A and B are shown apart, each in its own frame.
Chain A
Amino acid sequence: MKTAKTQNMLAEQLDSWQASGDMDTILQQHPDAAEDVRPLLETAAQLSRYYAVVPEPPNDLRAGRDIVLRAAEEKRAQRHPTSSVPSSRKGWLSDLRQLPTLLRHNWRLLGAVLAILLLFLPLSVPVARAADNSIPGDLLYPIKMAEEDYRLANAERPEIRAILALTFVNERIEEVRTLVRNDQRIPDTMNNRIYQLTYYALESTAWSTEAVTPIMLEYILWQYNTYVQELAYLKLHVDEKHQQQLNQVYSLCVNQYQMARLARNSPDKFRAAYQAGKPERLIVTERGLLQSSAGDVARAYVAWLTEKQSIRVRD
């Protein structure tokens, strides 16, 4: 009774039994396995009887309904980010999603949209590819951001969204590097975007399955460890003006590293906090860890720097 075939047969017999309720007829169809299967079907039948008794809810579920409706009212009143998609560019994307419904009822609009598509379609692919290499301040940069948002909003599973979000953080770090190299200013929006993407990665991880969450948290931690080290290295090689700008991105990445570390150390609390939309709960409950993790970042950085630059560090 240990092979996949037997497990599959049991599953089929359970389905048949649940549909017909006739155990004997089902067992007669597989007489050779009946001896093994019968006790399991009987256990399943006993379980069904056990589970069938459910008392009426003590308060008729009214209190919960009131709480939920009150929460909905509060949410409606706040009504800030309408989705987890980073808010800065979400608006027109969500409007775009309504377009098929609008077009179904408006033939003139459909004609206009088709005309626009025919006009611009030959250009769209090269434009999107050109946008891939754009940096903040470029004309095509908003297209790059919109494409990222679209991919995030349409990722099939939470963990895929998390990985995508981290890939885009990586892209932002690369852009920071390019901006510094070109002696251009790092825009203030860079921090917001990195913060939003990180929150997105952590939130998606919190909603992935329990088994996947710790693996994803390890991955996020490792990624941020790398970002912190890269930015620290970059800071050493830029002028004072860029150093100040880099400090902001660096501090943000250290904070996100610490958050990921807290999450990795307490995945259950992390899931509860992020699923509730209250990440601050994780910080409050794990303050001690937060302090120690700052030291770890510093140690990791010194270790990395030592290796990178062959600097001798005194014990």
Chain B
Amino acid sequence: MTSEYALLKRAQAYDKQAIGELYDQYAPLIYAYLYRRLRDAQLAEDLTGDVFVRVLQAIQSEQFWERSFRAWLYRIAHNLMVDYFRRQQDVPPLSLDEQLVADLASPVSAQAEALSYQQLRSAISQLTLDQQQVLALRFGEQLLTREVADIMGKSVGAIEALQHRALTKLRDIVHGEEE
């Protein structure tokens, strides 16, 4: 019995300490994932809390998390985000990402890099949600293809194809804008 499994079993009984430990361990991961998808720190933080509230609502059904609790969290986060987009009926505004500018070193190169990120962000928003998800999980979360397959409920082959299509389309969009 792994220590995480034991922790999850305690969380099933709504043991506050166990739930707190799970939150401390995984909330930063989920926040980062949501931020990468939404580019809005406040919203990502709010939705991170919602992810764990949903965990509490469904943790009794062990089948949801017995294979991988982390994969389950990513699935919930993705579903919540999709629900959020549908409620909003539009994508987040594409303003210059101030945080990106602030985090980069030289003011001139920072501005250039931020503009290229802006272009990338705009290009990502033109991909399908599945394509966006596969890119965020592979290159944001740095997960392996089989882990992404587990999270998205698809085969490894399907993820490889999706990843290929997403990168090709992204490159075409960025390249097209540059020309």
A55-B14 in contact given A47-B135, A84-B60 (Cβ < 8 Å): no
B49 within 8 A of A: yes
Cβ of A68 and Cβ of B153 under 8 Å apart? no
Indicate whether B106 reaches chain A with its CB closer than 8 angstroms. no
Q: Residue A31 at the B interface, CB < 8 A?
A: no
Q: Across the interface, which residues of A come within 8 angstroms of B48, CB to CB?
A: 57, 61, 64
* Chain B 18-56 interface mask (CB, 8 Å, partner A; 1/0): 011001100110011001100001101110111011101
Taken residue by residue from 61 to 88, chain A's Cβ proximity to chain B (1 for < 8 Å, 0 otherwise) reads as 1011101110111011001011110000
**Is the Cβ of B164 less than 8 Å from the Cβ of A6?**
yes
**When the two chains form their complex, are residues B45 and A61 in contact, meaning their CB atoms are under 8 A apart?**
yes
Out of A11, A46, A155, which one reaches B120, CB within 8 Å? A46
A10 lies within 8 A of B160 (CB): yes
Q: How far is the CA of A259 from the CA of B102 in the complex (A)?
A: 50
Q: Which of B147-170 contact A (CB under 8 A)?
A: 152-153, 157, 159-161, 163-164, 167-168, 170
Q: Give the secondary structure class of A's interface.
A: helix
Q: Report the count of interface residues on A (CB-CB < 8 A).
A: 64
Contact B49 A63 (CB under 8 A): yes
* In the complex, A130 has a CB within 8 A of chain B: no
Chain A residues numbered 184-219 whose CB sits less than 8 Å from any CB in chain B: 203, 207-212
CA A4 to CA B165, docked complex, whole Å: 11
Closest Cβ–Cβ distance, residue B2 to chain A (whole Å): 14
Which residue from B31, B50, B63 sits with its C-beta under 8 Å from A158? Answer: B63
**Contact assessment for A51 and B136 in the assembled complex, using a CB-CB cutoff below 8 Å:** yes
CB nearest neighbor in B for A4: B157
Contact mask for chain A residues 99-123; partner B; CB cutoff 8 A; 1 contact, 0 none: 0010000000000000000000000
Contact of B99 (CB < 8 Å), options: A10, A53, A79, A158: A53
Output the nearest chain A residue to B143 by Cβ-Cβ distance.
A18
CA distance A189 to B50 in the complex (A): 36
B168 and A72 form a contact (CB under 8 A): no
With an 8 A cutoff between CB atoms, is A276 at the interface?
A: yes
- Residues of B close to A65: CB separation below 8 A: 20, 23-24, 27, 49
Q: Which of A48, A161, A207 has the most CB of B within 10 A?
A: A207
* Cα distance, A61 to B45, chains bound together (Å): 6
Q: Does residue B69 face the partner (Cβ distance < 8 Å to A)?
A: no
Tell whether A264 is near chain B: CB-to-CB under 8 Å. no
B63 near A275: Cβ-Cβ < 8 Å: no
Q: Is the Cβ of B168 less than 8 Å from the Cβ of A4? A: no
Q: Which of chain B's residues have a CB closer than 8 A to the CB of A7?
A: 157, 160-161, 163-164
Asked whether any CB of chain B lies closer than 8 Å to the CB of A238, the reply is no
- Chain A residue numbers with a CB within 8 Å of B61 are 83-84, 203, 207
Please report the C-alpha to C-alpha distance between residue A73 and residue B54 in the assembled complex, in whole angstroms. Answer: 14
Residue in B46, B79, B139, B160 whose beta carbon sits within 8 Å of that of A48 in the complex: B139
B103 interface hit (Cβ, 8 Å): yes
Q: Beyond A58-B42, A68-B19, A268-B83, is A275–B171 a contact (Cβ under 8 Å)?
A: no
Find chain A residues with CB under 8 A from B82 CB: 210, 268
CB distance B54 to A276 under 8 Å? yes
Task: Identify which of B83, B116, B121 gathers the most chain A CB atoms within 10 Å of its CB.
Answer: B83
A1 and B175 CA atoms in complex are apart in Å by 18
Determine if A14 and B138 form an interchain contact, defined as CB atoms under 8 angstroms apart: yes
Flag whether A252 is at the interface (Cβ < 8 A): no
What 1/0 flags go to B62-75 for Cβ under 8 Å of A? 11100000000000
Given contacts A58-B41, A68-B49, contact A43 B14 (CB under 8 A): no
A217, chain B: closest CB distance, angstroms: 16
Q: With both chains docked as a complex, state the minimum distance between the C-beta of A213 and any C-beta of chain B, in angstroms.
A: 10
**B116 contacts which chain A residues (CB < 8 A)?**
46
* Chain B contacts for A84, CB-based, 8 A: 60-61
B27 touching A64, Cβ below 8 Å: yes
Among B66-104, those with CB < 8 Å from A are 76, 79, 82-83, 86, 99-100, 103
* Most B-side CB within 10 Å, residue of A68, A75, A207, A211: A68
Hey, which chain B residues are within 8 Å of A14, CB to CB? 138, 163
Asked if A39 contacts B171 (CB within 8 A), the reply is: yes
**Roughly how many angstroms separate A208 CA and B75 CA in the complex, as a whole number?**
10
Is A298 close to B, CB under 8 A? Answer: no
Residue B174 CB within 8 A of the other chain: yes
Nearest CB to that of A8 among chain B residues? B160
**CB-based closest 7 A-B pairs:** A64-B49, A51-B140, A76-B14, A83-B60, A209-B153, A277-B57, A47-B139
Q: Using A158-B64, A268-B83 as known contacts, list a sample of 8 further A-B pairs with CB atoms less than 8 Å apart, ordered by residue number in A.
A: A7-B164, A43-B171, A51-B136, A57-B41, A72-B56, A84-B60, A101-B1, A268-B82
